[in-house]
Chain A
Amino acid sequence: MKLLNEKSKEGSSSFNISELDIQTNIPENLKRIDLNIPELSEVEIIRHYTNLSKYNFGVDNGPYPLGSCTMKYNPKINEVAAKIPEFNIHPLSQHNKGTLEIIHQLQQYLCEITGMHAFSTQPAAGAHGESTGIMIMKAWFQKLGERRTKVIIPDSCHGTNPASVSLCGFEPLHVKSSSSGGIDLDDLRQNMGKDIVGIMITNPNTLGIFDENILKITKIIHDYGGLCYLDGANMNPMLGVVKPGDFGIDIVHLNLHKTFSTPHGGGGPGSGPVGVKKELEPFLPNPRIIKKNEKLGFEQSKDSIGKVHSFYGNFGILLRAYSYIRSIGASGLRNIAENAVLNANYMKEKLKEHYHLHYDRICQHEFVIDDSLMPDGVTTNDIAKRLMDFGFHPPTIYFPLIIKGAMLIEPTETESKENLDAFIEAMKVIKEEAESDPEKLTKAPLKAPIGRIDTVHAARKPKLTWHST
């Protein structure tokens, strides 16, 4: 499709402005001479983006079983809630009681769901929550006067975990997974020492497995005085079933855009609130929104890691998450976990007849299969591309890194049995095609708006704007 710049026609913009008859105070030598923003009429703008939208696949278009990303349906009421005019206020306005009430109440709900004592809603995304959490760990040991340098990370972790650790000046120390998919306890014990800041763990992990040794793991860390951080990306199957606070977690971040159904927006905005146990509360980002003597307000703590966002985080997203929690209530939260786990196990059982299942055991909300049973030359990438032709967004591929040719599949609780069956059938057909007509797969997708994209070409000589050649 043509670009805005290629469609632009000088003078076609109709969005007019009446200026005042007042001389500008900006000196001539600091003024801009020309402004080259594309110009289109309103109808052309709307058609441009409407046509672009047809080249996009969202949850509203079909199933999106993207492991570790929890692409569940986003209820439309959330969008209505987010557009209530009175919530669109300036962050420094004093007339903010309603807004503070939403944030404070959401903090309380998140505490109840996770078993934490206090939450900050400042972090704007999951990885932002991670770095906030690691900063809290750093501040904690500085306060104790201890110099610790290493954070333990399982080899099945999210890529953001080690990056967040090194951003905060610590060194990630990778521990192995055991043959059953949990953390290798011997490897963990061997790595323990007084230089360990703590652990950054995802549980259920990115293999979809709830580590049955979780209580032992958190005890080992605590015995050395370390802190346990939970990457809450996989909170969905725990809602109302188990609280991270109960299994020894000291700090947790939640991905509101995953678990609490706020739309991913083609990459954001997300929201990554961080929750902590009581002794860590003073280290949360400043300012905190708290209730004191029945009055809502801001509080600054001298032990705080400081501010991590221009204002108070992504309020527009917090409001959607609040709306979601209120619309489903406690029983709805539990329903999510049960149906997410049911859907994943159903799909896993059906797919293991056709694809190699690395860990043949009960899973939580997601599971990993791989391409090792595929005929030569047909890869996970080919399977992913072919799935598009069947009307599915592909699962997460080549992650977790510890399984070669991995496909991490997360159906989510909002998909129906019919959709799960259709996905299973598509995967079965793809397997058959791989044997009978492998070329069809390597050329897929055949029905997408565009053929398979050459990503190597894009990286070799990057063209990142319309102008540069």
Chain B
Amino acid sequence: MDYISNTDNDRALMLKDIGVQDVMDLFKDIPDSLILRNPLRIPDQLSEFELLRELENISKKNRRHVSFLGGGNYNHYIPSTVNAVTSRGEFSTAYTPYQPEISQGTLQAIFEYQSMICELTGMDVSNASMYDGATGLAESMILSTRIKGKKQVLVSHALNPLYREVLETYARASEIRIVEVDIKDGLTSDFKTDGSAAIIIQNPNFFGLIENLDGIRKKAEDILLITSTTEPLSWAILKPFSEYDVDIVTAEGQSFGNPMNFGGPGLGIIAVKQDYVRQIPGRLAGETVDIHGKRGFALTLCTREQHIRREKATSNICTNEGLCMLAASVYLVTYGKNLGKLARLNNQLAIYFADKLNQIEGVDLVFDKPFFNEFVVRIRKDIQSKISHIEIGISLEKYYPDLENCYLVCCTEMTPKEYIDRVLDEITQ
């Protein structure tokens, strides 16, 4: 197959109009020694049905099954409204809305998304999304050092270790020092703010536990408070971050209507206090009017951005996850207030599974603290081998050597009670 509209006749006419004999005459600026003489070593083209057959055959080498894996990527049901909207070519094949008159669809959708994220987080300003949860957090870390003029940040030991790796990469490049804050019983413990620009705390944290942020502002009086969330569904039943006086909220928004897709694309959520509106990286859509006085939307405060400020820009980011953002908006409005019920159901399933597991000899709940939809259990080796086909959770030993034989177990509405019961049966048999 190919996707070219010109016919041989068209090509001949065009070459004649240009005044050259052969299409290769148009490549004469390229030094002759560089022009490839042989075709690329890439297989021949396939017809649509051949391609689909090949892809389906490859896909069968995966095994899709219900699992209890979470830790930053969650298996949630995606309402049918989401795909109906995101598959519309007017949304999916449009570019960044730099020409607002013919991009009002994308722009209004961004504005509505921003409004909903601010509602969920309680923050003043949200951008139109970042690459993913980890890079959004890294950008926030850099942002905090710029605001505070200090090159050190505190990071909770209960932050997702993969996010920690991304932070370290960005910190090395930007010459920022990361200081770790210890954990106690799975929760972020006390810290000293000396010389730091910010403290980064994940909530619910990597162990699924809900951090009590009451009173944290007092301890972090002179530094920025940055939160990271990998499971923003929890926001539907948890007190908004604004009530703890958090400065920057970041999250992975994949849970809102985006498939797992082996971890990407994700949806980097970032929302800040009004004070930092001119510092936040990424795009912002704002309300304005057209020449007739009619309401319209446009990208705004672009003077922060790389195409204007170049090396002085707040970030090098020049894209967002537009379609994932749109999916999130449709997802949120489809559930509406029922999002609270969905969050509670996730919480209930996790409580149910954790309680039942804890009653089994050889399986222990590691932290006796409130959690949202993930929890940590220690499983005796003989039981592990019994359920090796299940993917009971993420093995934590690799990231936390003291958590030997421990797993991070996640429940969502896609791991219903019947399935949990079946797994429990297999363990106790």
With A88-B259, A266-B94, A305-B169 as known contacts, state yes or no: A464 contacts B43, CB within 8 Å.
Answer: no
Interface string of B136-157 (1 = CB under 8 A from A): 0000001000000000000000
Residue pair B263, A160 in contact (C-beta under 8 Å): no
Interface of A is mostly: loop
Stretch of B192-200, B218-226, B315-323, B378-386 lying at the A interface: B315-323
Q: A56-B102, A90-B69 are in contact. Are A350 and B17 (CB under 8 A)?
A: yes
Bound complex: CA of A361 vs CA of B20, how far in Å? 13
User: Does B360 belong to the interface (CB within 8 Å)?
Assistant: no
Q: Which residues of A contact B95 (CB under 8 A)?
A: 64, 66, 69, 71, 264, 266-267, 393
Interface residue ranges of B276-319 to A (CB < 8 Å) = 277, 283-292, 294, 296-303, 305-313, 315-319
Whether B63 sits at the interface, judged by CB under 8 Å, is yes
Say yes or no: A74-B93 contact (C-beta < 8 A), given A90-B73, A310-B162, A326-B54: yes
With both chains docked as a complex, state the minimum distance between the C-beta of A54 and any C-beta of chain B, in angstroms: 7
**A36 interface residue, CB < 8 Å from B?**
yes
Residues of chain B within 8 A (CB-CB) of A243 are 34, 36
Query: Is the C-beta of B21 less than 8 angstroms from some C-beta in chain A?
Result: no
- Chain A binder among B171-179, B183-191, B421-429: B171-179
Flag whether B116 is at the interface (Cβ < 8 A). yes
* Contact digits for B193-210, partner A, Cβ 8 Å, 1 yes 0 no: 000000000000000001
Across the interface, do B93 and A264 meet the contact criterion of CB distance under 8 Å? yes
Residue B332 interfacial (CB < 8 Å): yes
Which of these, A325, A339, A394, contacts B99 with CB under 8 Å?
Answer: A394
**Contact between A463 and B286, CB atoms less than 8 A apart:** yes
Contact (A77, B265) CB under 8 Å given A310-B134, A394-B99? no
Q: Which residue of A lies closest to B344 (CB)?
A: A19
Chain B residues with CB under 8 Å of A267's CB are 95-97, 106, 128, 283, 319-322
Q: Does B238 contact A (CB under 8 A)?
A: yes
Measured between alpha carbons, how far is A130 from B319 in the docked complex, in Å?
Answer: 13
Q: Any chain A CB within 8 A of the CB of B237? A: yes
> Given A4-B333, A458-B286, A311–B4 Cβ distance below 8 Å?
no
Give the one of B63, B71, B292, B301 with max A CB within 10 A: B63
What is the chain A residue whose CB lies nearest that of B92? A263
Name which residue of chain B comes closest to A381, CB basis.
B99
Give Cα A325 to B87, complex, Å: 22
Give the distance to chain B from A284, nearest Cβ to Cβ, in Å. Answer: 12
Contact A81 B62 (CB under 8 A): no
Which A residues from 430 to 469 make CB contacts under 8 A with B?
443, 445, 448-455, 457-459, 462-468
A163 touches B (CB below 8 Å): yes
**Chain B residues, CB < 8 A from A375:** none
Q: State the CA gap A385–B174 with chains docked (Å).
A: 40
Residues of chain B within 8 A of A90, CB atoms compared = 67, 69, 73, 75, 260, 262-263, 391
State A323–B335 Cα separation when bound (angstroms).
33
B101 lies within 8 A of chain A by Cβ: yes
Which 3 A-B pairs give the minimum distances between C-beta atoms? A311-B263, A60-B89, A91-B263
Our pick among B17, B102, B168, B286 for the contact of A449 (Cβ within 8 Å) is B102
A330-361 interface bits toward B, Cβ cutoff 8 Å, 1 = contact, 0 = none: 11111110110111011001100000000001
Query: Assuming A98-B58, A267-B319, is B17 touching A463 (CB within 8 A)?
Result: no
A-B contact pairs, 21 of them (CB 8 A): A3-B112, A13-B335, A26-B370, A33-B239, A37-B337, A52-B105, A56-B106, A58-B93, A81-B52, A84-B59, A92-B394, A160-B316, A167-B316, A212-B29, A266-B326, A267-B322, A310-B162, A417-B10, A452-B290, A464-B125, A464-B300
A199 at interface, CB cutoff 8 A: no
A residues 23-58 touching B (CB-CB < 8 Å): 23-27, 29-33, 35-40, 42, 45-46, 49-50, 52-58
Alpha-carbon gap, A419 to B329, bound state (A): 35
Interface size class of B (residues with CB under 8 A): 35 or more
- A327: contacting residue among B27, B35, B46, B109, CB under 8 A: B46
**1/0 per residue B368-396: CB within 8 Å of A?**
00111000000000000000000100100
**Is there a chain B Cβ closer than 8 Å to A407's Cβ?**
no
Pick the contact of A467: B55, B104, B115, B316 (CB < 8 A).
B115
In the complex, what distance in Å separates the CA atom of A112 from the CA atom of B174?
33
Q: Are the C-beta atoms of B264 and A162 separated by less than 8 Å?
A: no
Residues of A close to B26: CB separation below 8 A: 341-342, 345, 362
Which of A60, A72, A167, A331 gathers the greatest number of chain B CB atoms within 10 Å? A167
B residues near A247, Cβ cutoff 8 Å: 31, 34
Query: Which residue of the partner chain A has the closest CB to B122?
Result: A32
- Minimum CB–CB distance for A27 against chain B, Å: 6
Contacts of B90 in A (CB 8 A): 53-54, 56-58, 60-61
What 13 additional pairs, Cβ within 8 angstroms, besides A314-B264, A457-B289? A19-B348, A25-B351, A64-B95, A74-B93, A88-B64, A212-B29, A241-B27, A310-B72, A310-B133, A310-B160, A342-B26, A417-B5, A463-B288
| B275 contacts the other chain (CB 8 A) | no
B287 with A458: CB separation less than 8 A:
yes
Any chain A CB within 8 A of the CB of B273? Answer: no
Q: Are A159 and B310 in contact (CB under 8 A)?
A: yes
Which chain A positions have C-beta within 8 A of B65?
95
Q: Which residues of A contact B371 (CB under 8 A)?
A: 25
